[in-house]
Chains A and B, each alone.
Chain A
Amino acid sequence: MKKRVVSILLASAMAVTAFTGCGGGGGSSAAEASKTSEAGSAAPEASAASEAGSTASEAGSAAAASGEWSREFEGTSLSFLDVAPSDVRTSYYEGIFQKFYEATGIEVEYQSVPWDDAADKLTVLGASGTLPDVMTTWNGWLGQFTQSGWVIPLDDYIGDTASEYTDAVVNILWESEKTRYNHIYTVPDGLMVKGIYVRKDWCEELGIDLDPTKAWTYDEYFDLVEKLTDPEKKRYGASFRGARGALDPLWVYLQGYTNGATFDQEGKIQMTTDECLTAFNKWLDIYRNKWAPEDSINWGFTEMVDNFVGGLTGTLINDSEVAATLISGMEDSQWTVMPMPTSEKDGKLYNTINAPYAYTISGNSKNPDASWLLIQFLTSAENQAEYCQATGEIPIKKEASGLDYYGADGYYGVFLQEMNDETLAVPTSFGTFDFTDLHQGLFHEEIQSCLLGDQDAKTSLDNICNALQTRMDEYMAENPDAGIEVALTMNGQ
């Protein structure tokens, strides 16, 4: 009988530890792979590859200009991984890879992974040295990917072709990458700018006149949210984000009081002032004053958009890519876009400009030159225009962004107006260090604790600031020569 008991205990123990140990098992096989990663992380080697590739870059660029593409790599096969597959994107990529094959003779094997699993999948592929040649990545992963050598620098490949890209790409995105990682690692697939989607029909009912061409403040936005709230009609003023990502728009609001920075040049966090705390409280009042549904404490992106489209909420702060969903899901008479509010402190428009996803060449690519040719093909003006119209993004090439579709009267007019605003400043990120775990946990947990009344706003803001400060101190100790991010502008000043 004792044997039976012992066997049960052993089985139980195994069942428990297999749970965590399996992860480590993957990591173990990855140990070997780290050698590959290390090799990949060696910038000189990567640069050497880039130098070799610069020839291809020039050739490809010249060929692209004349409408023909280099067939230097004919017969080569490349692998491509998309991290955000959808019917639209998959259909686009399948078509474009066929065109690419016809133009260059290079075959592309298309793979995809659902967004929710993408970070895990790429991490495992990276750790095991089996990343595809080209992959779409998200900016938030770059800290980890560049540290591990899973992506290679593209500076030399881009070379003189930088002039083909819009100012937002060159002066904002790439400048930010250079500050944070010393190199350019990505070519954006398109651009996203934040705006405030508003129920135009509700405003008309209430006699509220909105003028998207005029700047407005956050206090005016909060007033609008309050006015649009009508419990009798089951209407709430805002699609509030309480779950993962809750801090993102709130942080930009706070950065309106810190010149767009998270840290000063000594590496000290800037959000511990009284005015930041007041702003923090005002933002959380959207939920606490019941201008947002009670459930929204757990809302993420999907719930925010669904409830705006579904008619429960009257405003939605989100990226320009959401416009595509509204175009297909709502009447034009129901919604409009307002620019993000300006800072009460200095009157500047602090707004993020992001690439939803970006093309990168992996450190495991055996043919980075052919991979670069593929990226050039995907981002050529003609293909960019087709891609951006399908996905609701703003083109990265000057030639493509001049199309009527992106004109002042188009759906994206307000977003382009924001990008051309003289006072626009793109605030810094949370830090140059890896903050993925904070973004997936502590940030929104602190906000939720405050919303539930478990702790006051000061405690929540202090806890967030302390976590970031600790991370920054560690980063600066490890990287004493690292630069400190500052807010960026379109003219590069």
Chain B
Amino acid sequence: MSANKSGGKLSLQTKRKLQPYLYIAPVMILLLLAFGYPLIKSIVMSFQDYKLSRLDKVSWNNFKNYIAMFTDKNFLLLLKNSVIYVVVAVLCQFLLGLGLALGLNGKFKGRGIYQSIVFLPWAFSAFVVGLLFRWSFNGEYGVVNDVLLKLGIIKDKISWLGTPGLSLAVVIMAMIWIGIPFFGINILAALQSVPEDIYEAADMDGCGTFRKFFTLTLPYIKPTIIMTILLRTIWIFNSFDLVVIVTEGGPANYSQTLPSYMYTQAFSSYDFGLAGAFGVLLMVILTLYALIFLKITQYDKAGDF
């Protein structure tokens, strides 16, 4: 039966065209509600005097929040801390995660149990990990100082959480510890999908271990590595929980990052306008990062053999 003959009904061709959109409509609606609305709202708020406790006095303030953000005396320190935090944490997580995956890729007795144990940190909440590190690195009673003293590595207790530089290092260590399994799991999955026969062919051609790794293994797992690094960078850059729990950004903001500062601003004075400005800045930074990263790593060509 022709659609035209049935008056207002859609033609089969139109229905077929619409079909995919209808399938994805529920998800798109949910995404728009859950992400699209907050995204637009946070951009709007960043141009407003928006205090949660003074909702009767919400008004446009042009670029006041952005001026306050860029002229904040801590801004450069926060930016520097954020970059150090992300670069060191992602790099260490990647290298250690890669080592872990290569180790677990071989067959050995008890691999299943060992695998379950080393992946455990990923299952812990950041709150638990934060408290664990906070107490372990306590300057007076912490187990870290105790061990280092007993091993004769240090002579006096170190004030890990009270010394600029060290306090951020503790947060970074916590972040590395919690994130290694994510890299490990993903890279291990990629390694297990590399066909065995190419290694056999390489062996016949007399390739050494390093050459096989760099010319065969790495290209095969490159898409996974790129995607994992991209995701972890975004997550770590946005994360503030460990900073808040381990050091509260102290001392004197030396371990504060942009998101943790944003959190402090948002929930100490309920100034969602200023927090919105920080949120927009984070979005711009991460969008630029993602674009440049994908371009440099040639993600669109990765995995093409």
Interface string of B14-52 (1 = CB under 8 A from A): 000000000000000001001111111111010000101
Instruction: Evaluate contact between A2 and B300: CB separation under 8 angstroms.
Output: yes
Decide if B162 touches A242 in the complex (CB within 8 Å).
yes
Query: Are B55 and A27 in contact (CB-based, < 8 A)?
Result: yes
A residues less than 8 Å from B299 (CB atoms): 4-5
CB distance from B262 to the nearest CB of A (A): 7
- Which residue of the partner chain A has the closest CB to B159? A294
Residue in chain B with minimal CB distance to A22? B38
Within residues 16 to 32 of chain A, which ones have a CB less than 8 A from any CB in chain B? 16-28, 30-31
Collect the chain B residues with CB atoms within 8 Å of residue A452's CB: 164, 251-252, 254
Main secondary structure of the interface of B (DSSP, over half): helix
Name the one of A9, A15, A144, A243 contacting B248, with C-beta atoms under 8 angstroms.
A243
Contact for A437 among B41, B138, B157, B268, CB less than 8 A: B268
How distant is the Cα of A18 from the Cα of B37 in the complex, in angstroms?
9
B39: nearest residue on chain A (CB-CB)? Answer: A17
- What's the nearest-Cβ distance from chain A to residue B52, in Å? 5
Q: For the complex, what is the distance from the CA of A310 to the CA of B138, rounded to whole Å?
A: 14
Beta-carbon contacts under 8 Å, A436-482 to B: 436-437, 440-441, 444-445, 448-449, 451-452, 454
Q: Which of A25, A144, A244 contacts B41 (CB 8 A)?
A: A25
Interface of A is mostly: helix
Enumerate chain A residues within 8 angstroms of B282, measured Cβ to Cβ: 16, 19-20
Q: Mark A413-455, 1 if CB is under 8 A from B, else 0.
A: 0000000000000000000001011001100110011011010
How many residues on B have C-beta within 8 angstroms of the other chain's C-beta atoms? Answer: 67
CA A436 – CA B252 in complex, angstroms? 18
Of the stretches A90-98, A295-303, A363-371, the one at the interface is: A295-303
Q: Which chain B residue shows the least CB distance to A127?
A: B52
CB B77 to nearest CB in A, in angstroms, measures 10
Nearest-Cβ distance from residue A78 to partner chain B, whole angstroms: 25
Q: B243-255 vs A: 1/0 string, CB under 8 Å?
A: 0000110111110
> Chain A, 203-247, contact with B by CB distance < 8 Å: what is the 0/1 string?
000000000000000000000000000000000000000111000
- Residue of A whose beta carbon sits closest to that of B253: A445
Chain A positions 169 through 195: 1 when the CB is less than 8 Å from some CB of chain B, otherwise 0: 000000000000000000000000000
Give the most central of A9, A124, A293, A445: most B CB within 10 Å: A445
Complex Cα distance A445/B254, Å?
Answer: 10
Does B184 have its Cβ within 8 Å of any Cβ on chain A?
Answer: no
Q: Are B42 and A17 in contact (CB under 8 A)?
A: yes
Q: How large is the interface on A (under 10, 10 to 19, 20 to 34, 35 or more residues)?
A: 35 or more
Known A294-B139, A298-B161, A307-B140: A123·B53 in contact at CB below 8 Å: yes
A19 contacts B259, CB within 8 Å?
Answer: yes
Asked if A23 meets B162 with Cβ closer than 8 Å, knowing A14-B35, A17-B283, A436-B268, the reply is no
Contact check: which of B50, B53, B227, B252 meets A445 at CB < 8 Å?
B252
Q: Does A54 contact B (CB under 8 A)?
A: no
B286 x A13 contact (CB < 8 A): yes
> A4, A21, A242, A451 — which one has the most chain B CB atoms within 10 A of its CB?
A21
**Chain B: minimal CB distance from A97 (Å):** 30
Contact residue among A34, A312, A437, A449 (Cβ-Cβ distance under 8 Å from B269)? A437
A354 in the interface, Cβ–Cβ < 8 Å?
no
- The residue that B39 contacts in the complex, of A21, A294, A454, with Cβ under 8 A, is A21
**CA A436 – CA B268 in complex, angstroms?**
6
Residues of A within 8 A of B58 (CB): 31
A12 within 8 A of B: yes
Contacts of B107 in A (CB 8 A): none
Top 3 A-B pairs, shortest CB-CB distance: A21-B38, A20-B279, A437-B269
Residues of B near any A CB (own CB < 8 A): 31, 34-43, 45, 50, 52-56, 58, 138-141, 157, 159, 161-164, 167, 227, 230, 234-235, 238, 247-248, 250-254, 259, 262, 264-272, 275-276, 278-280, 282-283, 286-287, 290-291, 294, 299-300
11 residue pairs from A and B, CB less than 8 Å apart: A13-B286, A13-B287, A17-B43, A19-B259, A20-B42, A26-B52, A34-B56, A127-B52, A148-B53, A295-B138, A312-B140
